[in-house]
């Protein structure tokens, strides 16, 4: 084999070696790129799930507050009924005391 | 020469493959890091969203509840006011019909005496007017006036409910001793008395 042929062979081999390296580099970039997409998917799935949980938390809080509000209505009705009853029972006494106050103060 | 050339070629290819393998391995390791970081970030963001949601939920709960409590407190206050006003109307009715009571004369005399004392003059002018009271039935009132005093009897109750108004002769000093004025002057005491009697407060 002549010296020129040997140089040719070396040049071809180096070109082949460069292709191997370039292909690996391209594949590595593709791996990174796909991984970034996968990472974004993981994040978005997690966020979507947690946003559902958020809605449930808010809905739960609203429901709980509405139950407590109903309880407050019930308690208020009881208080109002008590006042009405007291008013019926004690009105005559209150009027007499108030008249005495106005007359004698 | 051919043999050493082949060795050189193999070496070049072997180095390239080694480098390629390293590049792929590096990218795989970096991928792993990216995924772990993404999971950590997602976890962190999720925790932040949940923490904010819990705060927001508590705020929603408090807002719904506090507006309901406010409305109910107002309902209770309205009812108490309604009850108290109803009692005060009854008090006004009772006061305005005092002429039917056997205590009328004593009360009217006392009101006149108080009013005369308040204007502090020898010649007071006393207007008196109660519902369903004739001029004749007020004759006894004149006895409590000082000698220079003048009694004016109104046909109608003064200030709607009745009472007494005394002035000095020039009308500069006025003391209003009508039921309406007494109700206004004793407003706080009256509300306290009614509340404590009815509501026990």
Nearest CB among B16, B107, B199 relative to A17 is that of: B16
Give the least confident one: A9-23, B134-148, B184-198. Answer: B134-148
Cβ–Cβ below 8 Å for B8 and A35: no
Please state the φ and ψ torsions of residue B153, each to the nearest 5 degrees: -100, 120
A51 to chain B: nearest residue by CA? B49
CA distance B97 to chain A (A): 11
Instruction: Give helix B2-96 / helix A3-104 axis angle, nearest 10°.
Output: 10
Contacts made by residues A18-26, CB under 8 angstroms, sequence distance 24+: A18/B16, A20/B13, A20/B16, A20/B17, A20/B19, A20/B20, A21/B16, A21/B19, A21/B20, A21/B23, A23/B20, A24/B19, A24/B20, A24/B21, A24/B23, A24/B24, A25/B20, A25/B23
pLDDT (tens digit per residue) in A81-99 = 999 999 999 999 999 999 9
For residues B31 and B6, give the distance between their C-alpha atoms in angstroms, rounded to a whole number: 37
| Mean pLDDT across B165-184 | 96
Q: Is the pLDDT of residue B139 over 80?
A: no
Q: Is the pLDDT of residue B133 over 90?
A: no
Nearest CB among B30, B41, B86 relative to A32 is that of: B30
Does the predicted interface ipTM exceed a cut of 0.90?
no
pLDDT, chain B, mean: 94
| Mean pLDDT across B127-152 | 86
Question: Are B48 and A47 spatial neighbours (Cβ–Cβ below 8 Å)?
Answer: no
Question: Are B151 and B138 spatial neighbours (Cβ–Cβ below 8 Å)?
Answer: yes
| Phi-psi label, residue B130: left if phi above 0, alpha if psi -120 to 50, beta otherwise | beta
Residue B15 confidence class, pLDDT cut points 50, 70, 90 = very high
Instruction: Say yes or no: B13 contacts chain A, CB-CB below 8 A.
Output: yes
Cβ–Cβ below 8 Å for A23 and B19: no
For residues B43 and B40, give the distance between their C-alpha atoms in angstroms, rounded to a whole number: 5
For residues A18 and A34, give the distance between their C-alpha atoms in angstroms, rounded to a whole number: 24
CA distance B112 to chain A (A): 12
Nearest CB among A9, A66, A102 relative to B64 is that of: A66
A65 to chain B: nearest residue by CA? B61
pLDDT score, position B1: 56
Mapped onto helix, strand or coil, the DSSP state of residue A48 is helix
Nearest-10 Cα torsion for B119, A105, B93, B116: -20
| Mean pLDDT across B32-58 | 96
Give the least confident one: A23-27, B49-53, B150-154, B181-185. Answer: B150-154
| Mean pLDDT across B41-70 | 96
Cβ–Cβ below 8 Å for A46 and B42: yes
Q: Is the pLDDT of residue B94 over 90?
A: yes
For residues B104 and A67, give the distance between their C-alpha atoms in angstroms, rounded to a whole number: 57
| Mean pLDDT across B155-173 | 94
Nearest CB among B68, B182, B198 relative to A90 is that of: B198
């Amino acid at each position: 084999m002549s010296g020129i042929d040997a140089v040719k062979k070396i040049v071809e081999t180096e070109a082949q070696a460069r292709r191997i390296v370039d292909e690996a580099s391209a594949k590595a970039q593709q791996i990174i790129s796909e991984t970034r997409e996968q990472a974004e998917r993981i994040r978005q799935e997690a966020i979507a799930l947690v946003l559902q949980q958020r809605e449930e938390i808010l809905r739960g809080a609203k429901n709980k507050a509405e139950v407590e509000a109903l309880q407050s209505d019930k308690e208020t009705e009881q208080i109002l009924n008590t006042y009405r009853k007291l008013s019926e029972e004690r009105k005559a006494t209150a009027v007499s005391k108030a008249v005495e106050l106005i007359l004698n103060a | 020469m051919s043999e050493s050339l082949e060795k050189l070629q193999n070496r070049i290819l072997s180095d390239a493959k080694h480098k390629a393998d390293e590049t792929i391995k590096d990218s795989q390791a970096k991928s792993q890091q990216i995924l772990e970081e993404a999971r950590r970030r997602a976890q962190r963001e999720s925790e932040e969203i949940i923490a904010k949601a819990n705060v927001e939920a508590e705020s929603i709960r408090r807002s719904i509840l506090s507006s309901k409590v406010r409305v109910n407190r107002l309902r209770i206050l309205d009812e108490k006011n309604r009850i108290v006003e109803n009692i005060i109307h009854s008090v006004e009715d009772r006061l305005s019909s005092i002429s039917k009571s056997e205590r009328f004369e004593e009360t009217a005399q006392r009101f006149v005496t108080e009013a005369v004392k308040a204007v502090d003059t020898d010649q007071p002018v006393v207007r008196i007017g109660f519902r369903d009271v004739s001029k004749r039935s007020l004759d006894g009132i004149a006895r409590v006036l000082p000698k220079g005093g003048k009694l004016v009897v109104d046909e109608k109750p003064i200030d709607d409910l009745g009472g007494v108004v005394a002035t000095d002769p020039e009308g500069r000093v006025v003391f209003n001793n009508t039921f309406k004025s007494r109700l206004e002057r004793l407003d706080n005491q009256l509300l306290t008395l009614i509340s404590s009697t009815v509501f026990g407060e």
